[in-house]
Amino acid sequence: MSCFLSHRGESDDAPENTLAAFRLAMERDSDGIELDIRLTSDGFVVCVHDETLKRVAGVPLEIGKTSLAELRKYHPIPLLEEVLSILKPGKHMQIELKGDGTNLLPALKKILDQWDGDKEQLALSSFETETIRSAGDFFPNLPRLLLVDLKRKFGVFPSARQVMDEIKPLKCTGISFKADRDASGEFVNLLHENGLRVVCWGVSSDELGLDMAELGVDAMTNNHAVALRRIWREKKQC
């Protein structure tokens, strides 16, 4: 059964990548949360998607060139440690690594080594091939997913074999692909049979999300994951 992960928290109803959005996901009993992390200029691992605060706060401050204290003057950016502290037992957390992982990965490792929670709740993801490859050296026991728009990368929706050939050098343990109706149950099953985790993102409508769940993906990220999960469960009871 697919897990419905709250994308940047329950971000349809609270500001994305904030404690408010993540707490709402936990209060609503979401299957888990997806979030993005970056490194501030003073070495803090924070949850924010973009390179700057322009979209979410209207100021063009670059995350990697600004201190945590300065960023928090304009937006309530949470530390990863703060989000980990509210993750409930049994709930999943998919951590997207943004940008160059050279300094981010060692900082993340320090945090996770000190966290006393269950590491089996965690997974890592990245669009950057070098970052996801390097993540295997730091976190060999965590699921590591390559984020990818398969149709954009291959020109057409690829076969499972093409995907496996593509990710083999990266030593990752699965993919998170942009939801696409050209995906099939056979595609998902073949990846599963080869020991790979299959997640999808870009669920732009409830109908598309239901189609992906029908294919048997392990998880999907969605801005209102709890509501979509309810629709899915009601559909399966019919």
pLDDT tens track for 16-56: 999 999 999 999 999 999 999 999 999 999 999 999 999 99
Is the Cβ–Cβ distance between 35 and 8 less than 8 Å? yes
pLDDT at 238 over 80: no
20 three-class SS: helix
Q: Say what the pTM is.
A: 0.97
pLDDT at 203 over 80: yes
CA distance 19 to 21: 5
Domains and CATH numbers, the chain: 3-237 (3.20.20.190)
Is the Cβ–Cβ distance between 200 and 222 less than 8 Å? no
pLDDT at 159 over 80: yes
Residue 65's φ and ψ, nearest 5 degrees, are -115, 15
Where are the strands (E) in 122-216, listed by range? Answer: 122-126, 144-148, 174-178, 197-201
Radius of gyration over every alpha carbon of the chain, rounded to an integer in angstroms? 17
Is the Cβ–Cβ distance between 92 and 219 less than 8 Å? yes
Pairing of β 45-47 and β 32-39: antiparallel
How does pLDDT run across 104-134, given as a tens digit for each residue? Answer: 999 999 999 999 999 999 999 999 999 999 9
- Calculate the average pLDDT of the chain: 97
**What pLDDT band is residue 237 in, cutting at 50, 70 and 90?**
confident
Query: What is the pLDDT at residue 163?
Result: 98
**What pLDDT band is residue 1 in, cutting at 50, 70 and 90?**
confident
208 secondary structure, DSSP code: H
Strand partners, 11: none
Mean pLDDT computed over 166-192: 97
Query: What is the pLDDT at residue 131?
Result: 97
